[in-house]
Structure 1
């Protein structure tokens, strides 16, 4: 691959990432949420109550980030944190009724954002996007590991 092609790919991914996160922030602000908190709430809705370490793995972020998000969401009444049985150092995070209601709003917001993002893209291309984007993410993650070439 030549530099111009590499630059075009990297710049497009960078712009998409920046603009998508900014758009997420705009959409979440009226709900009193910040980017990343919606992912935590949606994961709890998918998986049910989880210890923070498992939630960190599921979200692909650092444990301190999950702790901070969980604390803020607990303060706003959307999640409940309680000690894990058998391990007092671990906390289980679960949705409250308020959090469950908020998840329904987030699902509508998430669908709208996806539709907005893929507007003008042919349906066969849209259908293949999750696999393509997950492959790209896996490639970058693999390259970030110690000992990767």
Structure 2
């Protein structure tokens, strides 16, 4: 890839990321949430109670970040923690009734944000975006060992 194309692509991804996060923050602020907290609420709404380590894996963030989010959301009455039955060192996190109601509000905001983000794009493009973006995320995911993908050497270093 030529530098001009690489630069245009990287700049577009960077700007989308920054502006999407800023727009999400603006939508979440009236609910008393900060970016990242909505993902935790939505994960618990999808899956039910989870151990904090599972939440960390599902959200793709470090355990201390999840611990901080859980503490804040617990203090505001949206979550509760209890010991895991199988491992007393682990905490199980679950939504409270207040947290379930907030997750419902977040779902509506998330739909609004998604619609704003893809406005003007053809339906076919919108349908392909989640898989395309998951692939791109996997390509740059530093949590996993890099493979020979893109080296053109058949896997030889």
Task: Kindly state the Cα deviation for residue 88 of structure 1 after the two structures are TM-superposed.
Answer: 1.8
What do you get for the CA RMSD once the two structures are aligned? 1.2
Task: Kindly state the Cα deviation for residue 145 of structure 1 after the two structures are TM-superposed.
Answer: 3.8
Q: Deviations over 1:72-110 (max 9, x none)?
A: 000000000111113221100000000000111011000
Q: Match for residue 30 of structure 1?
A: 30
**What are the ranges of 5 or more consecutive residues in structure 1 without an aligned counterpart?**
none
Between the aligned partners of 1:43 and 1:107, the Cα distance in structure 2 is: 11
Write out the 4+ residue segments of structure 1 that deviate beyond 4 Å after TM superposition: 146-149
- SS state of the match for residue 87, structure 1? coil
Between the aligned partners of 1:107 and 1:70, the Cα distance in structure 2 is: 19
Between the aligned partners of 2:5 and 2:143, the Cα distance in structure 1 is: 22
Structure 1 stretch 80-89 or stretch 25-34: which is displaced more?
80-89
The number of equivalent residue pairs is 148
**What are the ranges of 5 or more consecutive residues in structure 2 without an aligned counterpart?**
149-157
Residue 100 (structure 2) pairs with residue 111 (structure 1) = no
- SS state of the match for residue 89, structure 2? strand
TM-score by length of 2: 0.91
Q: How does 1:40-119 map to 2 (within 5 A)?
A: 40-119=40-119
Answer with 1 or 2: which has the greater Rg: 2
Compare the two structures and name the one with the higher helix fraction.
Answer: 1
Q: Match for residue 6 of structure 1?
A: 6
Between the aligned partners of 1:76 and 1:148, the Cα distance in structure 2 is: 43
Between the aligned partners of 1:90 and 1:145, the Cα distance in structure 2 is: 24
Between the aligned partners of 1:144 and 1:58, the Cα distance in structure 2 is: 13
- SS state of the match for residue 108, structure 1? helix
TM-score by length of 1: 0.95
